[in-house]
Amino acid sequence: MPKKSELKLLWAEEFDYPTGLNPKAWNFDLGDGTEKGIPGWGNNEREYYVESSVTTGAGLTITAERQSPDTDISTYYGPAEWTSGKIHTAGKLGFKYGYFEFQAKMPSGAGSWPAIWMLGASINEVPWPACGEIDIFEGTGNEPLVVRGTVHGPGYAGDKGITQAITHTAELSESFHTYGILWQENRIEWFFNGESYFVLDTTHPEFLENKWVYNDEYYLIMNLAIGGWFAGEVSPELQSAQLQVKSIHFYSVDGVGELIRHK
């Protein structure tokens, strides 16, 4: 959490809805990415996103479940091996600068790939990676102790993203932890359980040649993928996995930070 700063709460989400997501804030991404022209969501992922994988009540739960071979769900590689969930705020809520804090419990199991991240709101006009991507947290069941923050942009995307990882003393699936970013003009700082572990700004050598694209509006995404280039092999013993998010808080910091409502 930012030290010696004045925080003002601009938006909070605790997913305390008995009947599903708040439609004024959230959308579903569905399918395997084929309809968007990126089968496997561009990463060779194995899950097929469905609304029923996302539940609310005392927080949000995204559940990935292995499917039987005779499923009637078809994907780019054949019958779906997995279903899971993905939600985002595009076209409903946007954010520019401020402090984000998430209370979340990560899934366990080799091949699981939870992510809390953001994309530039200009993505329809400025395709990825030029629109920018901020990964607040990205992890895998194959690295159950690792906390990672990353950005992807023009000239430094995919496996060339600018990233920093730390190793926790216990598996992230054992309890809830706090994941956050302090996002300012020309600067992003990542936090784990209130402690800073990565600071990136325009003085980084990457930005001598490539563009910093993090001073514009972004929207929020949360999902649980299975398999793919980043997550690695999926354990044949894994039958289900859950990403749980207890709460999200978004603050302005010393008067800087904007919540943008589109609907």
Q: Which of 138, 206, 209, 233 is catalytic?
A: 138
| Candidates 13, 45, 81, 133; catalytic one | 133
Active site (annotated) includes residue 6: no
Name the pairing type of β-strands 47-49 and 82-84: parallel
Asked about 65 being catalytic, the answer comes back as no
Q: How many CB atoms lie within 10 A of CB 183?
A: 25
The catalytic site residues sit at: 133, 138
